[in-house]
Amino acid sequence: MASAHALASAAEARRTPVDATRVPRFAGPATFARLPELDDVGRADVAVLGVPFDAGTSYRPGARFGPQHVRASSKLLRPYNPVMGLAPFDVQQVADAGDIACNPFVIDEAVREIEAGARAVLDHAGRLITIGGDHTIALPLLRLAHDQRGPVAVLHFDAHLDTWDSYFGSPVTHGTPFRRASEEGLVDKTASIHVGVRGPLYSAVDLQDDAVLGFQVIGGHQLDDLGVAGALDQILRRVGTAPVYVSIDIDVLDPACAPGTGTPEPGGLTSRELLRLLRGLAGLDIVGADIVEVAPAYDHAELTGLAAAHAAYELLSVMAPQEPVS
Amino acid sequence: MASAHALASAAEARRTPVDATRVPRFAGPATFARLPELDDVGRADVAVLGVPFDAGTSYRPGARFGPQHVRASSKLLRPYNPVMGLAPFDVQQVADAGDIACNPFVIDEAVREIEAGARAVLDHAGRLITIGGDHTIALPLLRLAHDQRGPVAVLHFDAHLDTWDSYFGSPVTHGTPFRRASEEGLVDKTASIHVGVRGPLYSAVDLQDDAVLGFQVIGGHQLDDLGVAGALDQILRRVGTAPVYVSIDIDVLDPACAPGTGTPEPGGLTSRELLRLLRGLAGLDIVGADIVEVAPAYDHAELTGLAAAHAAYELLSVMAPQEPVS
Amino acid sequence: MASAHALASAAEARRTPVDATRVPRFAGPATFARLPELDDVGRADVAVLGVPFDAGTSYRPGARFGPQHVRASSKLLRPYNPVMGLAPFDVQQVADAGDIACNPFVIDEAVREIEAGARAVLDHAGRLITIGGDHTIALPLLRLAHDQRGPVAVLHFDAHLDTWDSYFGSPVTHGTPFRRASEEGLVDKTASIHVGVRGPLYSAVDLQDDAVLGFQVIGGHQLDDLGVAGALDQILRRVGTAPVYVSIDIDVLDPACAPGTGTPEPGGLTSRELLRLLRGLAGLDIVGADIVEVAPAYDHAELTGLAAAHAAYELLSVMAPQEPVS
Amino acid sequence: MASAHALASAAEARRTPVDATRVPRFAGPATFARLPELDDVGRADVAVLGVPFDAGTSYRPGARFGPQHVRASSKLLRPYNPVMGLAPFDVQQVADAGDIACNPFVIDEAVREIEAGARAVLDHAGRLITIGGDHTIALPLLRLAHDQRGPVAVLHFDAHLDTWDSYFGSPVTHGTPFRRASEEGLVDKTASIHVGVRGPLYSAVDLQDDAVLGFQVIGGHQLDDLGVAGALDQILRRVGTAPVYVSIDIDVLDPACAPGTGTPEPGGLTSRELLRLLRGLAGLDIVGADIVEVAPAYDHAELTGLAAAHAAYELLSVMAPQEPVS
Amino acid sequence: MASAHALASAAEARRTPVDATRVPRFAGPATFARLPELDDVGRADVAVLGVPFDAGTSYRPGARFGPQHVRASSKLLRPYNPVMGLAPFDVQQVADAGDIACNPFVIDEAVREIEAGARAVLDHAGRLITIGGDHTIALPLLRLAHDQRGPVAVLHFDAHLDTWDSYFGSPVTHGTPFRRASEEGLVDKTASIHVGVRGPLYSAVDLQDDAVLGFQVIGGHQLDDLGVAGALDQILRRVGTAPVYVSIDIDVLDPACAPGTGTPEPGGLTSRELLRLLRGLAGLDIVGADIVEVAPAYDHAELTGLAAAHAAYELLSVMAPQEPVS
Amino acid sequence: MASAHALASAAEARRTPVDATRVPRFAGPATFARLPELDDVGRADVAVLGVPFDAGTSYRPGARFGPQHVRASSKLLRPYNPVMGLAPFDVQQVADAGDIACNPFVIDEAVREIEAGARAVLDHAGRLITIGGDHTIALPLLRLAHDQRGPVAVLHFDAHLDTWDSYFGSPVTHGTPFRRASEEGLVDKTASIHVGVRGPLYSAVDLQDDAVLGFQVIGGHQLDDLGVAGALDQILRRVGTAPVYVSIDIDVLDPACAPGTGTPEPGGLTSRELLRLLRGLAGLDIVGADIVEVAPAYDHAELTGLAAAHAAYELLSVMAPQEPVS
């Protein structure tokens, strides 16, 4: 376990979340995990950024309210991650960069605005964890990742492939970001993988195309037999040392764990499985990450928001400098 | 009160809703009021048409699920309207024309498809009552109305003016249909009126523009003092004998009566007031009508769907041939 | 206003609800208004009796859970009715008689059991306020009322006439109690009245039959113009000095006020109107009363349960000895 | 994996669900999986049939709304089942046969009507997947299955045995279908099995009787240790080559996965387990199937409806001709 | 109507809410009405201040989440109030002062912290509109008001008197603030009034005590007959020219309009009535105001939050400089 | 399996729950599992006791409504536990002792009242299963347990350690009972263990302190790998033959299984796991037990209440005399 003393002193130079022993969790700022705003810290190692956009949604809309819901659901996050043995807000500066204001009606324009907006945040932050919004937003974020690092492995947690071609003539929607990204050369085709895919497809061709686009698949139905350890082993072998972009569609979880989403598919992961998988990513070269498709109007008691907030917390933990265990 | 005997014989030639004494209301077809489908009757006096489109929504989305929700909420409608003294499904053929399938991502294309789709239905129907969808759909429907009758009076029940100019550069959204319609010459500027408008505006200019575009306003806050009779009197004087298009945004109702909508405004009409206002429209030359902005994800116990279904029923009643009272 | 002193001394001999200043309202007994059980007091002036039966329901079922929901919603009732100027639990002994256990599958058997069960309670209570359950239960209760007093005026608050003839061959359902009662001679045809009826009917004949069965009608749509005072005047003139049975289908309220019910109809009464109408019944010769059709699965935040509990409280107040105002 | 080409050509002769790339999933028909109606295809290999009946329910009612809820929840089903390697709507004609209209008040009459109604559908369909309604409906459906094939194995997924004797004197309710069926000789006592049973019973005799009636039991609490593979092995050994009727009470799932049901029992299967178990039934001689006890008033965000719709989809897949994998 | 030109120029010097035509309402800051934070403007004419405290609640708790819920529900507020003819954020600087962090467990300590916290905000703001929190918070706020202006008229909108004496020995709870305030001499006993009181009381003495403490009462049941104009007339006559503190318990609204509250009472005001009453307060010498008892766990679709947000907006409008109508 | 005959005769002397074949489960008493009240049986082996107190809650309040919610959710519990092979209400007298009425505002006073109230119940009962209320109530209950048996092993199922020191200066809240208990010497430090702990902590010191206070930890994330059997093995080894107090915070379950709680943490146990763990406690020397933190306002379809009621049932089963299997 990491030295609490060392972490505490490291944190002294950092602005950390509001202290819950002085400001009750139901009071205080509406930022993610009650973190400082990026404007207030000037520069962050990791910025949490909202992208409230859902015009690319094909079924239940409402992920436009995802960022504020995930933030509201993140108030219970405490500073120390006991399984990882570190305090993710202490060992790196994390801050909330607010929301990108993008066009709610025209997908192409919004995609440009998201790319520009995220790029501007990256002037003040090392890396981003983006809270969607629908999955359309992964495309501009992968463009940015590519600009920084070249083709990146995509580690994609989702019930769906999201490599469909187009929908009603629109090439960029929440069902297509990884096809577009692969076509644009943003994706490392030797190191990308979907985890948790399940449910019916349009045809057998979907999977053939998907493989050509550079993805392996761990199906949701395989989790019982593989176990978390087996799935993690396959993920880590696939991703290897490539720079990796982690994209989490909250519908990778079973609808029981994440009812508040746009295209739910029964038979998914438990939140216990997802959080354990994410903890296993420590040591990967994570370029950036997103958590998308939280649609609060279908949520209950913040179930979905809590799952997303904790997923972000685990991502922040594995993106943190992993200190040697004392 | 109309002669029940005469109505019954008139109805013999017609296909009416499924009989609830033989098929329980929780069984049977999913059409509006369990009516026959338009395809099955060939031609209808009035067709009920779904337009599941909500890409023009600026706040809470989800009106794309409006048509199926209003139909599900319409199963309790019985055949005889005792206040009007007529049976609206007997004295005219009413049928459900299903949904227009339109582009869920690109507003302009959807608007063209709605206009084309509704025009095609009108080849088989005298008039339309359209179930939205968001208020964007009023624009193509007014274009059709204008094609049929020239400029029409717009009798608009809504919490909002919907004569704003543009939003994020998009000229056609759910906040702008009546400005666009007026600019295109579709609106009879001497006979149009908003009813139930309330809540804050962007500026005083909103009302000035609105007047120039041809609308009078009865504010929601005036209903207590005017009463239904006073409001109706003002409406009928304004509309006169002009052909009139009736557009009902369900948010004209107070959120207590219609929680399932996209931009709720406290202080609205009760459903009792709305239904009475609609009954008062008997005798007007109604060209067509819509009921929009039912967003089921925010509804509870079908409150909003029921209100919309009953509004449609009253519209069907006042659009029916008004037989002499025996 | 009644003398508080006199009421207090009168109450000394009585068992009253658990004192909320000693047992918080969220603790303590689950009886109506936290009253004593009938078994514990031996004899009551008025017994509140649950009849959890809903097999006569034609649409949304669930009124079987009505009694426990209304009791849970009654915990906030305090002892003194300031508008009536009396304390209904002080000036008469009120007790909770629990539930009648009746057959959940066979209507006829259940009706017999309800009649027998209620009769047994009347061995220990002067009068009953029955909490349903669906409206089927009014028939056996009217049989009892007739046994006690001969034909009674029926003062019926409801969105529906409930004088239909049969449904799927069943003559006794929640849509028919008052036809059966009238046919059986239980109803005083010169003094009975429906209040709040609205929404579509099967045909004009429904109203004709209803009149023959002995009912006047105040429609829900007439409330705005009549006002509470006007409606009350008509009710009191109709009922006169006849012994009267008061039957309240909670769907007399607008669905906004009572979403948790089986066949909701928009355009109904507000709870303010209903409570005022009930207060106006002081002085009538009330034989008994029921409050039915609370279906909790469709309720939210106890809206419907609260309305029913307060309606029961006002009934208890007008059934109480009306002491001279000091 | 099956040849997509072969499947595609096979499908040409068939009417398949409405194409979601041309009609958005929130538009279009309200049939199961947006399939054609049976009337429109004339004859189907498998018909999906609604039986909206719940008068046999002992606790939370509302399964009468099950068929329309499961249909509404089935709109996301796509045509190709990647785990099974086939397209169930292509390799066989599937159609929606609508609802049986049966008596909502009298169980015996309803049971006769369900048997007659289902028999009439079987004049136009090879096999049925029935959507309930409460579990009472399994009895008439087993009578039909017996008429076709003699005694059948019953593969019964449920939290409860449903072999109780009677309830309030009614021999046919949702807790008794398999006792009645066994007594009538409809059940192959050497090949029947319950899966997922859990929760308290009335007495130890329940299990003794159940064994005599011909059932083995896999308890819900055994799933962790058995695993899906172990449970499946036991199921397949028990059923063997007997013709089998598959009956799925949705309460076999944990309430977390299926809150919308009448008698929920904690400790149940996950939807991932259920779907995997169903996929393992490929190769069995399935005579027919039902999915019952979906009570939408207690559902949230269609969790229960989605689970039921996907269960039906997997049943359709295992009932389909299993083509050789290319 | 006020001169839009004059208002616009006046606003130039002020920081106003985020422009919804550039940042969608579902994006951007979480402040009330998307106003600037008080820290960012330095000094405000009116500060909106959250007090998330509910340890004084006797029934349904949860008002601790009130401030964040009302802020989330305030995003649709636009800048111009057409009924008042002014733009409340333009003609005065309004800012969000965030939340007071107070002890969630010990009432007395929390009350001291609220008084100190609000006093500190008043160093940077002319007046406060406080968002609760339960009604306990009115006591420290009235102490502040008294410090500023001496005894103040209390204009109290509520279903309850809130002048009870103590509860479980605690003299300061959400049921007692106005008794304590009157005893402390904070209340102008010649000018204070409750509006909307209804429902049962503990005894007739409650009203007698209340009168001695300095309050008149307009009962909820009187609203139909008085009308808004009549009630307003009585309010204005009572308050006169006294400095007045306006305290709005959201349960003054009918539960249909405000389900999300702790002690709901049927028979309340509509939101239309409340908003009109508030608009009628223009010209009063308003010292400060609060809106309390919004308990989001019991809200639906932000009904209660919207009502509270609009009430705050109308208060801001009547507290604004009332410019001469052009 | 135990002899049903022997159990039946043993039960003759006992008062058991109301028979569901004579009183439908939706009718009848509101006691836990429809058991008799303690007053009616005089003395019980185990009493189920409600403690509706939640003033020690740091985030979502509402556990004050826990006892009545768990009772309402317990109506489906039948008498025979087939996995344990016994009928827990037959082999021991179980009764419902009602609720302790304690101060809702002042924690210290409430804690004294809870201790006194529970002590009074123990005059008439052998052991207690207490239904909370928040986790604060474990402290007075452990004091009682210590009075009876000296230091006890604490077997604590929870997402949280609940050994924090203080919160806002209050030493006794729902986050601190086990630290206070350990400091007071109530806890057997050699035999106590937390099960299911997960989620972020304040710091690494939390775990260090917790160990010093006498607790081992099985983390929630370890359940997949340990399995129920492995966890149970560790629990039984830790507890050994010590007298043990079992404390179940319902948030030990995943929020999907128990949304209705105050501080939910994703990644928890399934109800299947929890019930199996509890069954494994047969043979332990259980002194008493509690089930806390059920907050109904956040529950859906009684998911959380059902889980709590079944947990209580399994506790009653393992606390029962374990008869030899025939």
Question: Which ipTM value was assigned to this complex?
Answer: 0.94
The pair phi, psi for residue A131, each rounded to 5°, is: -110, 115
pLDDT score of B42 more than 70: yes
At residue F12, the pLDDT reads 53
Q: Once rounded to an integer, what is the mean pLDDT over residues F1-17?
A: 57
Q: Which chains touch E (3 or more CB pairs under 8 A)?
A: A, B, C, F
Record the tokens describing residue F82, joined without a space: 């087939």
The pair phi, psi for residue B274, each rounded to 5°, is: -60, -45
Contacts of A50 in chain E (CB under 8 A): 27
At residue D8, the pLDDT reads 44
Record the tokens describing residue B240, joined without a space: 């006169």
pLDDT score of E20 more than 70: yes
Confidence class for position A322, pLDDT limits 50, 70, 90: confident
Mean pLDDT of chain C: 94
Q: Once rounded to an integer, what is the mean pLDDT over residues C23-49?
A: 97
Among the listed residues F2, F16, F36, the one whose alpha carbon sits nearest the alpha carbon of residue F90: F16
Contacts of C27 in chain F (CB under 8 A): 50, 52, 64, 67, 99-102
Q: Once rounded to an integer, what is the mean pLDDT over residues B104-124?
A: 98
Asked if D268 and F273 come within 8 Å (Cβ–Cβ), the reply is: no
Nearest residue in chain C measured CA to CA from E223: C272
Asked if D255 and F271 come within 8 Å (Cβ–Cβ), the reply is: yes
Q: Is C90 helix (H, G, I), strand (E, B) or coil?
A: coil
Contact with chain B for residue E31, Cβ under 8 A: no
Q: Once rounded to an integer, what is the mean pLDDT over residues C275-279?
A: 98
Contact with chain F for residue E202, Cβ under 8 A: no
pTM value? 0.96
pLDDT score of E3 more than 70: no
When comparing pLDDT for C10 and C232, which is higher?
C232
Nearest residue in chain D measured CA to CA from C171: D105
The Cα A260–Cα A64 span in angstroms is 12
Question: Do chain E and chain D touch with ≥3 beta carbon pairs under 8 Å?
Answer: no
pLDDT score of D69 more than 90: yes
pLDDT score of A131 more than 60: yes
Mutation target vs B (from A53, A167, A168, A299; most B CBs, 10 A cutoff): A168
Asked if B306 and C266 come within 8 Å (Cβ–Cβ), the reply is: yes
- Over residues E243-280, the pLDDT tens digits come to 999 999 999 999 999 999 999 999 999 999 999 999 99
Asked if D257 and A254 come within 8 Å (Cβ–Cβ), the reply is: yes
Asked if B297 and A60 come within 8 Å (Cβ–Cβ), the reply is: yes
The Cα B52–Cα B50 span in angstroms is 6
The Cα F65–Cα A148 span in angstroms is 54
Question: Do chain B and chain F touch with ≥3 beta carbon pairs under 8 Å?
Answer: no
pLDDT score of D288 more than 70: yes
Nearest residue in chain F measured CA to CA from E172: F105
- Over residues D123-174, the pLDDT tens digits come to 999 999 999 999 999 999 999 999 999 999 999 999 999 999 999 999 999 9
Contact with chain B for residue A167, Cβ under 8 A: yes
Question: Do chain A and chain C touch with ≥3 beta carbon pairs under 8 Å?
Answer: no
pLDDT score of C128 more than 70: yes
Mutation target vs B (from D26, D49, D102, D130; most B CBs, 10 A cutoff): D26
Asked if B307 and C202 come within 8 Å (Cβ–Cβ), the reply is: no
At residue F291, the pLDDT reads 98
Percent of chain C's residues with pLDDT above 90: 92
pLDDT score of B326 more than 50: no
Record the tokens describing residue D138, joined without a space: 């399994």
What SS3 string covers chain D? CCCHHHHHHHHHCCCCCCCCCCCCCCCCCCCHHHCCEHHHHCCEEEEEEEECCCCCCCCCCCHHHHHHHHHHCCCCCCCEECCCCECCCCCCCEEEEEECCCCCCCHHHHHHHHHHHHHHHHCCEEEEEEEECCHHHHHHHHHHHHHHHCCEEEEEECCCCCCCCCECCECCCCCCHHHHHHHCCCECCCCEEEEEECCCECCHHHHHHHHHCCEEEEEHHHHHHHHHHHHHHHHHHHHCCCEEEEEEEHHHECCCCCCCCCCCCCCCECHHHHHHHHHCCCCCEEEEEEEECCCHHHCCCCHHHHHHHHHHHHHHHHHCCCCCCC
At residue D323, the pLDDT reads 66
pLDDT score of E110 more than 90: yes
At residue A10, the pLDDT reads 47
Record the tokens describing residue C74, joined without a space: 């009654």
- Over residues F112-136, the pLDDT tens digits come to 999 999 999 999 999 999 999 999 9
Asked if B255 and E25 come within 8 Å (Cβ–Cβ), the reply is: no
At residue A324, the pLDDT reads 53
Nearest residue in chain A measured CA to CA from F217: A82
Number of inter-chain CB pairs under 8 A, E vs F: 54
Asked if D64 and B26 come within 8 Å (Cβ–Cβ), the reply is: yes
At residue E269, the pLDDT reads 98
Record the tokens describing residue F81, joined without a space: 């536990």
Contact with chain C for residue F26, Cβ under 8 A: yes
Contacts of F23 in chain C (CB under 8 A): 99, 101
At residue E322, the pLDDT reads 83
- Over residues B134-151, the pLDDT tens digits come to 999 999 999 999 999 999
Asked if E298 and C301 come within 8 Å (Cβ–Cβ), the reply is: yes
pLDDT score of B13 more than 80: no
Of C83, C257, C307, nearest to E219 by CB-CB distance is: C83
Asked if D59 and F25 come within 8 Å (Cβ–Cβ), the reply is: yes
Asked if E104 and A24 come within 8 Å (Cβ–Cβ), the reply is: yes
Of C22, C23, C99, nearest to F27 by CB-CB distance is: C99
Asked if F64 and C26 come within 8 Å (Cβ–Cβ), the reply is: yes
Asked if F254 and A275 come within 8 Å (Cβ–Cβ), the reply is: no
At residue B21, the pLDDT reads 85
When comparing pLDDT for E225 and C158, which is higher?
C158
What SS3 string covers E3-49? CHHHHHHHHCCCCCCCCCCCCCCCCCCCCHHHCCEHHHHCCEEEEEE
Among the listed residues A295, E277, C257, C256, the one whose alpha carbon sits nearest the alpha carbon of residue B250: C256
Say if residues F276 and F83 touch (Cβ distance below 8 Å): no
At residue E2, the pLDDT reads 38
DSSP β-ladder status, A94-99 and A44-51: parallel
- Over residues D73-129, the pLDDT tens digits come to 999 999 999 999 999 999 999 999 999 999 999 999 999 999 999 999 999 999 999
Query: Smallest CA–CA separation between D214 and chain C, in Å?
Result: 27
Asked if C168 and D104 come within 8 Å (Cβ–Cβ), the reply is: yes
Contacts of D167 in chain F (CB under 8 A): 21
When comparing pLDDT for D190 and F19, which is higher?
D190
Mean pLDDT of chain B: 94
Q: Which chains touch A (3 or more CB pairs under 8 A)?
A: B, D, E, F
The Cα E78–Cα E95 span in angstroms is 15
At residue A296, the pLDDT reads 98
Contact with chain E for residue B221, Cβ under 8 A: yes
Confidence class for position B12, pLDDT limits 50, 70, 90: low
> Which residues have a Cβ under 8 Å from the Cβ of E208 and sit 6 or more positions away?
none
When comparing pLDDT for B323 and F229, which is higher?
F229
At residue B229, the pLDDT reads 96
Contact with chain E for residue A68, Cβ under 8 A: yes
At residue D326, the pLDDT reads 43
- Over residues C282-300, the pLDDT tens digits come to 999 999 999 999 999 999 9
